[in-house]
Structure 1
């Protein structure tokens, strides 16, 4: 890992909660990510994603996921970036938590998104991994605002947001696969953040901060 971090500093980052380890996805992790997605992410025909990537045929899913991971790395700049963090529990790949920003040094605003395989849902893991990246953004990257969004019908995702202290930040209409959905934006700040009762353990953030000019 050390030589990889020397080439691309974000690879050094690790976030640890009581149950989970979050770190950037390496090429060697892609098969585990694909297997987790193939095991099922949501109910058939009810995609929580505006682009229904998890419903792709098996022969298209793996290339699509790999291209997305590579695209996020290739497009990672100080001005605009998305960091994809794999989520592990006891060596098992559970899903992906992303953290992104545009012009973070000035706007002090991050956004998040995630997916979790169905077998790991309903155990508070989605809340724990979101709390980890929001804590990291506020405490280590100097963010003042964390934003997220979900389809208005997605009570599970919006419930995670509410439980962490996010507040509604407006509705908008967006294309959702072949349909149109009402989408709820939510917004969190350090004063409204309902912090977890566990400490976040962070390693390897110095190189990332330097890389981002923070």
Structure 2
């Protein structure tokens, strides 16, 4: 029987760290992702996201999340792609780490974003999952730059970035929902990357590289 990974190679990617298994969110994982988001991701009224999706009513949150996962798959091309990777610890889905790029073959630049349910925050999981996707991008895809951003008040996210060696890369004003936020860009290269003490295990990357024509 043909596997999902044979039909769509990104599904075959798995990143393994000492505590986490990181792999694409499948349809059967969506209910767990919705439950994790509903359990709480941030303090009420303090959304760290440019699109405040976590503040949607429960009856809108679930279809919004499902549509986002499906949209990212449907729009996945070698010139513009986003991998939405579920993050598991002891078979519990803690959140989602994304990594994406536009014109990657030319620019060799990826961007990342993530969320963790509140009960999993403050335990180093955010740093571990970011280190995993950045290591994967640099060492297995040949990326030369990794970029991210966060509201200037979001010291939790910016702390993860600086601990991994990201350098500040300018600020800009942006509309986040109905609010205007000052946003801090950060930038990382293989040279500035503060690598973790552990070795990332990667499966399915060769098939993904072939699919992306890298």
- After TM superposition, the score normalised by the length of structure 1 is 0.99
Partner of 2:192, secondary structure, is coil
Match of 1:199 in 2: 199
Encode CA deviations 1:109-146: one digit per residue, 9 max, x unaligned: 00000000000000000000000000000000000000
Q: Which runs of 5+ in 1 are unaligned?
A: none
In structure 2, C-alpha distance between the alignment counterparts of 1:29 and 1:2, rounded to whole Å? 20
In structure 2, C-alpha distance between the alignment counterparts of 1:166 and 1:78, rounded to whole Å? 26
Match of 1:44 in 2: 44
In structure 1, C-alpha distance between the alignment counterparts of 2:105 and 2:35, rounded to whole Å? 36
Match of 2:150 in 1: 150
Cα gap change, 1:98 to 1:2, in 2 (>3 Å): farther
Match of 1:127 in 2: 127
Deviation, 1:2, is: 6.1
In structure 2, C-alpha distance between the alignment counterparts of 1:30 and 1:185, rounded to whole Å? 30
Deviation, 1:176, is: 1.2
Match of 1:161 in 2: 161
Deviation, 1:41, is: 0.3
Partner of 1:112, secondary structure, is strand
In structure 2, C-alpha distance between the alignment counterparts of 1:181 and 1:55, rounded to whole Å? 17
- After TM superposition, the score normalised by the length of structure 2 is 0.99
Match of 1:77 in 2: 77
Match of 1:189 in 2: 189
In structure 1, C-alpha distance between the alignment counterparts of 2:203 and 2:169, rounded to whole Å? 32
Contact 1:95 1:116 in 2 (8 A): yes
Q: After TM superposition, what 4+ stretches of structure 1 lie above 3 angstroms from structure 2?
A: none
Contact 1:2 1:12 in 2 (8 A): no
